[in-house]
Structure 1
Amino acid sequence: MDVIRSLSSREVTPITTVDMHTCGEPTRIVIAGYPSLSGTLLEQRTQARAHHDHIRKRLLLEPRGHFDMYGAILRQETELTYGGFADIGVLFVTNNEYSTMCGHATIALGRFLVDTHDLDVFPARESLQFDSTSRTILLRLHAPCGLLEVTVPTSQDGQRSDASRPVSFKSIPCFTTALDLRVNLNLENRWPELASRISIVADFAYGGAFFCLVSAAELGFSQGLTNFNFEAMNEATRRLKAAVNSDPDLAYLFQHPESNDLSFLYSVIVVDKRLGLAIGNSKGAETGLCFFSDQEVDRSPTGSGVSARLAAAYARGDLRENEPWTYHSLVSLHNDKSSAFVGRVLGRDNVSDSGRFPAVRTQVEGRAFYTGYHTFVLESPDPLGDGGFIMKDFADSAVPKSS
């Protein structure tokens, strides 16, 4: 303990986190030690990227994290908390960027924010309203994509979350930008499993972030998400994302109607609709594998991706309002089926309807669990401690010549 106290007193401010997982996908929640930010939540996101990105790297990358680590930075003051519309804000961080929405982290945050009674961490905690009939608390979370309504099951007295029941969130308006769109691939962006094909067909939709939704078979993996080469799938999705991003005629697929800060293609989700066991009262099930940010692999079914898939299924006519559907990841498929997410379309959002496809509000539910509590320190002589590193980058770059 003397060593811990000594390290915590060094000149670099320690950063405290609570770690959780949702269907195996980590969320490192920053609760203390992060520098102050100001302005709107999107302005805070810009400031974090411009001035404090080394902290994102320090917390998420090696040696404290890993390539697929995910994080959430609590923001007690945003324009929506000032206006009384939100209880707290959050910034989401990945291995190379600041994402606009994250469903698995929202589910984890729901539990943590109900469990904490530390008013320095969550000043509005004691103002949350407890529904004794349903034993739930409604939390209003301000994410970069907008306001999320999170329903957290609780103990009998509402003082703690109930880990045995799922957390759910109601989405911001979600919409589809294309169904069955043919994406042409130049020679540089093709992959071996395509054989002689020069294009693929995919859907594009927004669930707080923009997603490309494509079947495994369409990518050339005939056995779907069973017995496939993981590295080959990673390469195929990387090249597909590059092909979409490099074609200016496809920029409309990820253009947000209200904010350029939200206008980028976040992820490719590979879908296998033949796989999965329906849980609860779901009408059916499917499985997805999400490659997001810099080819991070989501262990969970991806909450924002589920919202996008719900919007696309509704636009296609495959799903009706309030019809529950189970969404598996490879983790829930091969381990605990109850870890899957259940999603449903709550209804159309007529105010946000634009273009060819309807905007909808969705609900996604899942369960999250605690894994640890950390105080991260930085010793000033440590040459590797501040920015962090990604091990695979060393294989992709030339070795510096010795002087």
Structure 2
Amino acid sequence: MDLAQIFENSPGEVIKCIDTHTTGEPTRIIYSGFPRLQGTLLEQRDQAKTHYDNIRKRIMLEPRGHYDMYGAIIIPDTELVQSGEAHIGTLFTHNGGFSTMCGHATIALGRFLVDTHDLNVFPKRNTLKVNIATNEVAVNIHAPCGLVRVTVPTTADGQKSDPSRPVSFLSTPAYAAAIDLTIPIPKDVAWPELGSRESIKLDISYGGAFYALVDARELGFTEGLSKIDLASVASAVKKLKAHLITNPDVITALRHPEDERLSFLYSIMLVDRDIGSRPEGVDGAETGLCFFAENQIDRSPTGSCVTARMALANAKNERPRGQKWAYNSLVSNRFDTGALIASIVDDEILLKGDHGVSRQCVVVQVEGKAYYTGAMTFIIEEGDVTTESGFTMDDCAQNGPSTK
């Protein structure tokens, strides 16, 4: 029996994916086989969470993925696609569910959307226009947080992306939600590295998702991010995040003006301003370590948090419009390549809505490179209970034998 026969005989629809990475962080682009969804993009996100979360787990978790896998599901039809503002939509996925924005995945998705010429995958591919002067193509992607404008470098004919040059995107409006919050840390929450301290200071900022930004030394990791024990940091962050989402000041800061479905703490980012690989043409560099979703570690500098960090630095009068800054991860520092470079291109945006206070916002340009790593065709055979919804080893270890 050949592979084609295996796929033909599998029950349900075959799921097809392209795998990429941005500074080592995977993006599994699901371009065929995910059930069609209805309504606005946020309604489609709700549908996917309610009715198809088992498929999300099947694609993200073991044995087809792993705890730190990330994905982007192609959504051909959204309200912004229908209005002509966007060329296509996407839903972002991870180990815990569905995100609202992801910069590293946007960079990878931009390349893929230029490279594919399958109109079943990308119905509006032929509407993309090549800028002959710059050899670039603009692709407008509707993410759950709003419209993300992507610029993809191309070959001269515009038919293929150029991996030697960075992809860039313009963020949705970003803002600092709370600056220098004092967070009491009770003894039952404290982690060993915190010592005798009873509180910490951190900031909350929005870059398409909400991030708690805290200096690594503030949590008791005295060497910053130059040398850390990941297990110890992960344990501390897990305790801190569970505590933060109960704090009244944090809850207030997380209220997005436009939609309550955007109002949740996505991530904690540890920062270290003293280290960072520094590419040419930037005014400075720093490093971050991002824990998001269910304590998933981002290998990349985290594009949406780069946006949030730029917004925060601007609110603190540390980052003026037009200044270029390099943001690193542990991976980009290790290999001295892969930093995301950002600059503020607009600082006069006012975000209004019915769900929270109006916010003075910035728009940030973020640029970086993504690379292809493979292509997958996923099936599930009849009787394969183990992988129908994927699994994690932690879940198996903590919950023990089935009670069925």
Matches within 5 A, 1:193-212: 193-212=193-212
Q: 2 CA distance for matches of 1:57 and 1:317?
A: 42
State the Cα deviation string for residues 150-188 of structure 1 (Å, max 9, x = none): 000000111000000000000000000111111111222
Matches within 5 A, 1:141-156: 141-156=141-156
Q: 2 CA distance for matches of 1:91 and 1:247?
A: 29
Task: Check conservation: 2:351, 2:359, Cα contact below 8 A.
Answer: no
CA RMSD of aligned residues (A): 1.5
> What does residue 364 of structure 1 align with?
366
Q: Structure 1 residue 242: deviation in Å?
A: 1.1
Task: Check conservation: 1:101, 1:145, Cα contact below 8 A.
Answer: yes
Q: Structure 1 residue 249: deviation in Å?
A: 3.9
> What does residue 373 of structure 1 align with?
375
SS in 2 for 1:140: strand
Counterpart of 2:341, as a letter, is V
- Cα–Cα, structure 1 residues 68 and 274, in superposed 2: closer, same or farther, change >3 Å? same
Counterpart of 1:386, as a letter, is E
State the Cα deviation string for residues 166-219 of structure 1 (Å, max 9, x = none): 000000000001111111112222111110111110011000000000011001
Q: Structure 1 residue 4: deviation in Å?
A: 3.8
Q: Structure 1 residue 401: deviation in Å?
A: 8.1
> What does residue 102 of structure 1 align with?
102
SS in 1 for 2:220: coil
State the Cα deviation string for residues 248-283 of structure 1 (Å, max 9, x = none): 342112111010110000000000100113213110
Q: Structure 1 residue 247: deviation in Å?
A: 2.0
> What does residue 320 of structure 1 align with?
320
Task: Check conservation: 2:175, 2:359, Cα contact below 8 A.
Answer: yes
Counterpart of 1:152, as a letter, is V
Q: Structure 1 residue 356: deviation in Å?
A: 9.1
- Cα–Cα, structure 1 residues 184 and 78, in superposed 2: closer, same or farther, change >3 Å? same
State the Cα deviation string for residues 98-148 of structure 1 (Å, max 9, x = none): 000000000000000000000000000010111010100000000000000
Q: 2 CA distance for matches of 1:360 and 1:402?
A: 52
Q: 1 CA distance for matches of 2:381 and 2:61?
A: 17
> What does residue 6 of structure 1 align with?
6
Q: 2 CA distance for matches of 1:148 and 1:186?
A: 40
Q: Structure 1 residue 19: deviation in Å?
A: 0.6
Between stretches 374-383 and 143-152, larger displacement belongs to 374-383
Q: Mind listing any 5+ residue stretches in structure 2 that lack a counterpart? A: none
Q: 2 CA distance for matches of 1:256 and 1:175?
A: 10
Counterpart of 1:181, as a letter, is L
SS in 2 for 1:351: strand
> What does residue 30 of structure 1 align with?
30
Q: Structure 1 residue 358: deviation in Å?
A: 3.1
Task: Check conservation: 1:315, 1:357, Cα contact below 8 A.
Answer: no
- 1:43 and 2:43 correspond: yes
State the Cα deviation string for residues 56-83 of structure 1 (Å, max 9, x = none): 0000000100000001110000000011
Q: Structure 1 residue 380: deviation in Å?
A: 1.1
Given the two structures, how large is their TM-score scaled by the length of structure 1? Answer: 0.97
> What does residue 348 of structure 2 align with?
349
Q: Structure 1 residue 355: deviation in Å?
A: 5.9
Counterpart of 1:58, as a letter, is R
State the Cα deviation string for residues 282-328 of structure 1 (Å, max 9, x = none): 10000000000000000000000000000000000111101000000
- Cα–Cα, structure 1 residues 105 and 401, in superposed 2: closer, same or farther, change >3 Å? closer
Task: Check conservation: 1:277, 1:284, Cα contact below 8 A.
Answer: no
Q: 2 CA distance for matches of 1:143 and 1:68?
A: 21
Q: 2 CA distance for matches of 1:161 and 1:349?
A: 32
Q: 1 CA distance for matches of 2:47 and 2:403?
A: 37
Q: 1 CA distance for matches of 2:402 and 2:201?
A: 45
Given the two structures, how large is their TM-score scaled by the length of structure 2? Answer: 0.96
Number of aligned positions between the proteins: 401
SS in 2 for 1:274: coil
Matches within 5 A, 1:183-332: 183-332=183-332
SS in 1 for 2:114: helix
Q: 1 CA distance for matches of 2:280 and 2:67?
A: 34
Q: 2 CA distance for matches of 1:157 and 1:297?
A: 38
Q: Structure 1 residue 402: deviation in Å?
A: 8.3
